[in-house]
Each structure stands twice: as C-alpha cells, then as structure tokens.
Amino acid sequence: MLIDKLNWRYATKKMDSSKTVPEDKVERILEAARLAPTSSGLQPYEIIVVTNPDIRARIQEAANGQAQITEGSHLLVFAAWDNYTPERINSMFDLVNEERGFTNEGWENYRKMLLGLYPPRDAQTNYEHAARQAYIGFGLAITAAAFEEVDATPMEGFNPEAVDEILGLRERGLRSVTLLPLGYRESSGDWLVNLKKVRRAKEDFVTEVH
Ligand SMILES: Cc1cc2nc3c(=O)[nH]c(=O)nc-3n(C[C@H](O)[C@H](O)[C@H](O)COP(=O)(O)O)c2cc1C
C-alpha cells in the first residue's frame, strides 16, 4: 500500500555509499516526475541527474556539506525556467498539436491568452510560478522513490546561485529549485531513522465541509 511506503520513507540523513540505486528504479522515479501535472501543461522545469562524484562534491559544498549528496548514488536537481517566453509557451502548445494531430480554436485562444499574460510579467514572478510547478514533480519523485523503496532526502538547504554556476544552469535559462539525493539508508549511522514520524493530527490538518 502506498501509505505504508510513505510511512517507511523519511528524510534520510545518512546513506550507504557502497550501494547504487538500479537504473530502472531511477528511470521510474524520473518518469513519475515527467508525468506530474503542471499549470497549463507547460512543464516549466527540467531535472538534471548528477552521478559524477566530483560535481556532486562541489554541490555538497554549496549545500552546507550535506552528506547524502555524495553518499547517495544519484542526485536529482529540479531546475525551473528562469522566465516564460513566447518561444517556450509556443513550443509546448505546438507539441500538443503535433502529438494530438489536430488544432482546436479553444486551445489556440488559450495559447494567445497565456502569451498575453506571462511574457510581459517580470522574470522573477514567472520563475516563481515555474518553481511551484517543479515542486509538484519533486513531490511525485519523492513518492515514487518511496514506492520503489529507494531512500531520498528532499533538500532546499543549498545555495541555488552556486548550484546554478556549477551546473551551468543560467546559460540554459534554468534556476535550481530543489535537490533530491537518491540512495539507501545507512541505519546504523542515522540519528533520524528510528525516530517516530511526527505529523499534526488529521483533525488539525483536514477541514471537512459537508
Ligand atoms: C522542500 C523541502 C526542503 C527540505 N530541505 C531539507 C534539507 O535541506 N536537508 C534535510 O536534511 N532535510 C530537508 N527536508 C526534509 C524535512 O525536514 C522533512 O521532510 C520533514 O522534517 C518531515 O520528515 P520526514 O520527511 O522524515 O517525514 C526538506 C523537505 C522539504 C519538503
């Protein structure tokens, strides 16, 4: 059951550097993120999969030395578009038309509406909107990792400008949003592994309106 796996997962603090996540599991975790819904279907972010140890060591330095980045076998970097441009919006609308094999007036009017709305806004507002979409894929990747019984640590504790620099993201019109190291827990060295998972009670979290 998914809920059992979500109870099993935790923000792993220590990973076993002798273990490697199999590629088929990594592929399914990435596929879950690719299938994530996004506002208007724009998918305004990409995922960079870093296995290179030297680059991961540099990213670790930019992330307060968090060890999971190098102890895990793969590091996923979620990077959002730095802005919405007409080219980016058009390329997604064109892809939909190409893949579905037809054009539709309502859809084309929606394209015009977005073209009139997003590109004139300031880049920071657009980046923040894109970053919110990246978080949805991030959440699905965290869930998929748990489903695959792969450990993962969601991370915001890093210097995004430094990570952008290390990976050359700004040149590609991208800005790093979150990190997700993947690996396997090293239970003997992890202070968090046996601590109770703490969440607010359902009554304090869910309001039912009948
Ligand atoms: C967006 C986000 C950013 C986080 N950043 C970090 C981080 O930089 N380092 C870390 O060790 N944990 C980080 N966490 C993990 C949270 O502290 C953790 O998910 C939360 O305390 C709940 O615990 P659990 O995930 O073990 O159930 C982050 C979690 C999220 C969702």
CB-based contact 9:151 (threshold 8 Å): yes
- Whole-number Cα distances in Å, 136 to 39, 73, 126, 141: 10, 23, 16, 9
Distance 118 CA to ligand 1 centre (A): 31
DSSP assignment, residue 15?
B
Residues 29-35 have a mean pLDDT of 98
Tokens for 132? 């919110």
pLDDT at 119: 98
CA 125 to ligand 1 centroid distance, Å:
25
- Ligand 1 centre distance from Cα of residue 97 (Å): 39
What one-character-per-residue DSSP string does 29-50 give?
A: HHHHHHTS--GGG---EEEEEE
In the chain, the domains with their CATH numbers are: 2-83+124-205 (3.40.109.10), 85-120 (no CATH)
Task: Output the CA 11–ligand 1 centroid distance in Å.
Answer: 6
Handedness of CA 98, 107, 139, 86 (dihedral sign): positive
* Average model confidence (pLDDT) across the chain: 97
Comparing CA positions, the residue from 133, 147, 163 lying closest to residue 46 is: 133
pLDDT band at 177 (very low <50, low <70, confident <90, very high): very high
Q: Taking CB atoms and a 6 Å cutoff, what residues make up the pocket around ligand 1?
A: 10-11, 66, 153-157, 178, 197
Give the other-Cβ count within 10 Å of 122's Cβ.
9
Cα-based distances in Å from 68 to 14, 192, 193: 6, 13, 14
- DSSP state, 197? P
φ/ψ of residue 75, rounded to 5 = -120, 120
Q: Region 18-43: what's the mean pLDDT? A: 98
Closest CA to 92 of 39, 48, 169: 39
pTM of whole model > 0.85? Answer: yes
pLDDT classification of 152: cutoffs 50, 70, 90: very high
pLDDT at 186: 95
Task: From 153, 159, 192, 197, give the residue whose CB has the most ligand 1 atoms within 8 Å, as the site to mutate.
Answer: 153
Query: Are 166 and 79 in contact, with CB atoms under 8 Å apart?
Result: no
pLDDT for residue 13: 97
What's residue 27's pLDDT?
Answer: 98
